[in-house]
Amino acid sequence: MILSVSRRTDIPNYYSDWFLNRIKEGFVCVRNPMNPHQVSRISITPDVVDCIVFWTKNPEPMFDRLHELSEYEYYFQFTLTCYGSDIEPGVPHKREKMISVFQRLSENIGPERVIWRYDPILFNEKYTPEYHVKAFSRIAEALSGYTKKCVISFVDEYAKNKKKLKQLGIDTLEEEELYEFAVTLSGIAKKNGMEIGSCAEQIDLSKCGIVHNSCIDKTLIESLLGCSLKGQKDTNQRPECGCMESVEIGTYNTCKNGCVYCYANESMESVANTCRKYHPLSPILCGEITETDKATERKVKSLKVEQLQLNLSK
């Protein structure tokens, strides 16, 4: 099993104590967002968790406790963009703090286990293609040697972010302009020793030197584990998504970063209401299991292919 921590919220930043308590207890409970009274109890012991994939904009709160994950393989998807507080109000200043946080994490766990996400990319009167190119170049130079991969995507409109994106005055590039922009980013990334990939994009950027990426990356995880995995493509994600199957343990309406492009929060008021239920010792994130809930054990297992290799040659 691959554990996704988490597409729905920033657990390393805001809920690392809760998560590490779950690691200590060996299980976690997750509420079904489509059926709130349906709860899954999931074992997260080292024998069934093959790898943990963290998604975050600030992993610093975890730094002093990473040793508690010594029995697990893991890597971080670390989002580091050019946006200010107008777009990402809850994220500390990138140049003054977050670049050094990225560097420290890489020094601690290795550059192959810290993926730089420069996404989602949006264009408007302030954040023009030229603005992005300059910012991307500065960040890439600062992260050179601290990561081996950069992932980009372009902003998508959802019901939860449609109004805010409209207020930003989002611009759309013509196809040739987009290709030219992508070629420029690709060149900058490669100059700084990074492979560059796209996340769940319909547009094919391979001619720009940008591969289709898998954020839950089977190849990377197999490399970290030193063995093959039998996991399949995640059918719960968009068709363009290349991720392998994983188990998501996050909760919607719990991320305090407040990013205007976010699809996981209805509003900051809903986030505040949900976060009032947070307790680091609860088996479920920002909530509790009640008498009206139906809790069932979810069957999970390791996806490792541990096969005895026989030499049949005579």
**Would you write out the chain's pLDDT as a tens digit for each of its 314 residues?**
999 999 999 999 999 999 999 999 999 999 999 998 999 999 999 999 999 999 999 999 999 999 999 999 999 999 999 999 999 999 999 999 999 999 999 999 999 999 999 999 999 999 999 999 999 999 999 999 999 999 999 998 877 888 888 888 999 899 999 999 999 999 999 999 999 999 988 888 999 999 999 999 999 999 999 999 998 888 888 777 889 999 999 999 999 999 999 999 999 999 999 999 999 999 999 999 999 999 999 999 999 997 544 444 43
Q: Which two tokens stand for residue 72?
A: 């697990």
Distance from C-alpha of 130 to C-alpha of 137, rounded to nearest angstrom: 11
pLDDT at 159: 79
pLDDT at residue 307, as a whole number: 53
Residue in the structure block whose two tokens are 């040793």? 67
Q: What is the rounded distance in angstroms from the CA atom of residue 211 to the CA atom of residue 152? A: 10
Predicted pLDDT of residue 313: 44
Neighbours of 179 (CB within 10 A): 16
pLDDT computed for residue 165 by the predictor: 86
| pLDDT at residue 312 in the model | 44
pLDDT at residue number 11: 98
